[in-house]
Structure 1
Amino acid sequence: MSSQFRELLKKVGSGQHTKENLTRTEAAQATGMMLMGEATAAQIGAFMIAHRIKRITPEELAGMLDAYDELSPHIYPSPEEKTPFVFGIPYDGRSRTAPIFPLTALILSCAGVPAIMHGGDSMPTKYGIPLIELWQGLGLDFSVLAIEQVQELYNRTGLGFIYTPRHFPLADGLTPYRDQIGKRPPIATLELIWSPYVGNFHLVSGYVHPPTEALFRETLKLRKPTIAFTFVKGLEGSCDIRLSQTTIVAISQPQTSEGFEYLKLHPQDYGMEGKDHPLDSTSDLFLAMDAVIEGKASPLKQASIWNGGFYLWRYGICPDFSSGLEIAENLLNSGKVAQKRAEIRATLDDIINHNHH
């Protein structure tokens, strides 16, 4: 097997003039062999760094996603069959600015918008606070669920979380390489647009560099040309839109010749400009998040309304951004978001206890 992998490695790992791109099939094959541990450790590390230096093509990324789809766990449509948002948020987490995303997800959940997430534990190269830990800090621990229970939670609450160490250990097995090579490999790009959901979904991904956003679009054209997408040049590469400056967002627009358009979200146009709150300690962060959920004053409240309003509008809950902001604010102030969190917590407990007896 490793001699077969060596041929693929030679293609991406040759010099400036002799390197070749992999076909979609070859990229799928190489990724499958890495996930299954059929390539040696030396080969996997070499492939990751060579691929990073060469730069990944849309065909290669499509092939890598094909391999993930084949080997990963899945979440299936709930009885309501509503189209979920699938969020791609960097697995290596946040280290400078306070994350808003779980608050956005709870606001969406209140409005009946399903959301699917995925991620693991604290991860190189950034070792920021990962998504799973944010939810745990809010009293919702998705990491304890078996994959069947993830599906049950999704069916009952519209929230789904694929926790890679438990649900997709093959992918988690590639994590140590990030530390050893000291760089994010192309798999870190794949994670932003990978979806464990089987069915029609709306993909939301964060990005930092403009070429990444073009790569996302080209890859989707090859794999899922009809799905809706929202690609956000968000805080630290996340899906969180900024209060401190304009955020650029690429959204799918099937009726245009390009198939997409750029939005520029200016907080000052909506009287929302402010500071992006720094990430100080996790205990302070959880207190600030709790206050938002409980409808109290919080340094994160404005950012939660700003983000919640945008995604409510983007999903089609309301006709324009301004009414999205109003709905988000009302859901927080009326106590509905607090109620929603309590419901999700009760459902989690029920699923865990029910399956233990």
Structure 2
Amino acid sequence: MNLSSSLIQFRELLKKVGSGTHTSKHLTRSEAATATRLMLEQEATPAQIGAFMIAHRIKRPTVEELAGMLDAYDQLGGKIPALDSATQYPVTVFGVPYDARSRTAPVFPITLLLLASVGVPVIFHGGDSMPTKYGIPFVEIWEALGVNYRSLSLSGSQQLLAKTGIGFYYLPQHFPQAQKLVPYREEIGKRPPLATIELLWSPYGGEANLISGFVHPPTEDRFRETFTLRNMKQLITVKGLEGSCDLARNRTAIIGITQPEKDFQRRHLHPQHYGFAGQDVILESLTQLTTQLKTIIAGKPGELMSAAIWNGGIYLWLCGVCPDLETGLTQAEELITTGIVADKLKQLTV
């Protein structure tokens, strides 16, 4: 059997990362970009792709490899076009796990509505229910709130971003090559390194500030080093619930701020110091979550209200809307209780 040049090329890259503890080697940035491109374009065989994913997960990707994988995503993935005119605040892209949350109730949609309400353009990205967690995807949460993001083209997403301040990048619609690799996650039973890329990738065609969730400290270190290598503008890392960008109420919020030509800043925010300590709400069903979110949007007391204000206040401060966290918390509560957040949702559902 004669193998094509692409299969031979990929086989050599696979041999480098999959040769075992003592003999495997790291890929260069360009090699990692090539391997990712060959997977995305299905020029590697299914056996090769699955083997590469599990071998690379066991080896753990280096910063150079992460940068190369992101290069391939930039090359092949469609992006929401840059806004035609300048905005008061930079576009902020949130990177959260595509397999979503399965244990704790998210208030992330409220955070997006809050930021958009004060002029911070925000983009989030993801797909449908996905291995390995099979959490409730955000596209379904927004549909339950009356917003349909599935059918928008990239230009349509840009128009919605310009009009409402919130844009969504829907993987099956906007990056079908990456969507075709999703079944491998179920077949290998583990998140592949591509799941890490999704936290760091910006599907926006212009400059953007990036906020990425993480669980383990080594992941955050790699994020920061990759950020520096790729000359990105601003990276904020948060140790969020289940790796998301939602900050817990039952533990200290750990936030890292990386900016070009500035010293790295580490922030430890203790909910009890601001009167927001409490238990994080359990995620039981989409129906219950929708009711909880609608209660917040209506400005009524509920289980998730404190979490919504805590997160909203932090992000209003981090995005430069408020000079300090105390002001951010006050403004977040006002935006919710005075109906401004509800008005923003109405704008999205029209």
- Do the two structures share a fold, i.e. TM-score over 0.5? yes
Is residue 28–residue 63 contact of structure 1 (8 Å, CA) maintained in 2? Answer: yes
* Displacement after TM superposition at 1:146 (Å): 1.9
The answer to whether residue 223 in structure 2 is matched with residue 220 in structure 1 is no
Determine the C-alpha separation between the residues in 2 that align with 1:255 and 1:162: 30
Is residue 80–residue 155 contact of structure 2 (8 Å, CA) maintained in 1? Answer: no
Residue equivalent to 1:354: none
* Displacement after TM superposition at 1:198 (Å): 2.0
Residue equivalent to 1:234: 240
Is residue 41–residue 177 contact of structure 2 (8 Å, CA) maintained in 1? Answer: yes
The answer to whether residue 314 in structure 2 is matched with residue 283 in structure 1 is no
Determine the C-alpha separation between the residues in 1 that align with 2:266 and 2:200: 18
Aligned length: 343
Is residue 224–residue 258 contact of structure 2 (8 Å, CA) maintained in 1? Answer: no
* Displacement after TM superposition at 1:80 (Å): 3.5
Is residue 164–residue 344 contact of structure 2 (8 Å, CA) maintained in 1? Answer: no
Is residue 13–residue 19 contact of structure 1 (8 Å, CA) maintained in 2? Answer: yes
From 17, 26, 39, give the equivalent of 1:21: 26
Residue equivalent to 1:61: 66
SS at match of 1:86: strand
Residue equivalent to 2:135: 128
Structure 1 residue runs of 5 or longer lacking an equivalent are 347-357
From 335, 344, 348, give the equivalent of 1:344: 348
Residue equivalent to 2:113: 106
Determine the C-alpha separation between the residues in 2 that align with 1:159 and 1:31: 29
Is residue 254–residue 260 contact of structure 1 (8 Å, CA) maintained in 2? Answer: no
Determine the C-alpha separation between the residues in 1 that align with 2:313 and 2:179: 34
From 322, 328, 335, give the equivalent of 1:331: 335
Determine the C-alpha separation between the residues in 2 that align with 1:80 and 1:146: 20
Residue equivalent to 1:87: 94
> Residues 102-143 of structure 1, C-alpha deviation per residue, up to 9 Å, x if partnerless?
010001111111101110001001111112111112111111
Amino acid aligned to 1:242: A
SS at match of 2:199: helix
Residue equivalent to 1:248: 254
The answer to whether residue 9 in structure 2 is matched with residue 4 in structure 1 is yes
Amino acid aligned to 1:4: Q
Range that drifts further, 159-168 or 77-86: 77-86
* Displacement after TM superposition at 1:147 (Å): 2.0
SS at match of 1:42: helix
- Aligned-pair identity in percent equals 56
Amino acid aligned to 2:264: F
Is residue 111–residue 311 contact of structure 2 (8 Å, CA) maintained in 1? Answer: yes
* Displacement after TM superposition at 1:76 (Å): 2.5
Question: TM-score scaled by structure 2?
Answer: 0.96
Which 4+ runs in 1 deviate beyond 4 A?
253-256
Amino acid aligned to 1:303: A
Range that drifts further, 69-78 or 35-44: 69-78
Amino acid aligned to 1:343: Q
From 320, 325, 328, give the equivalent of 1:321: 325
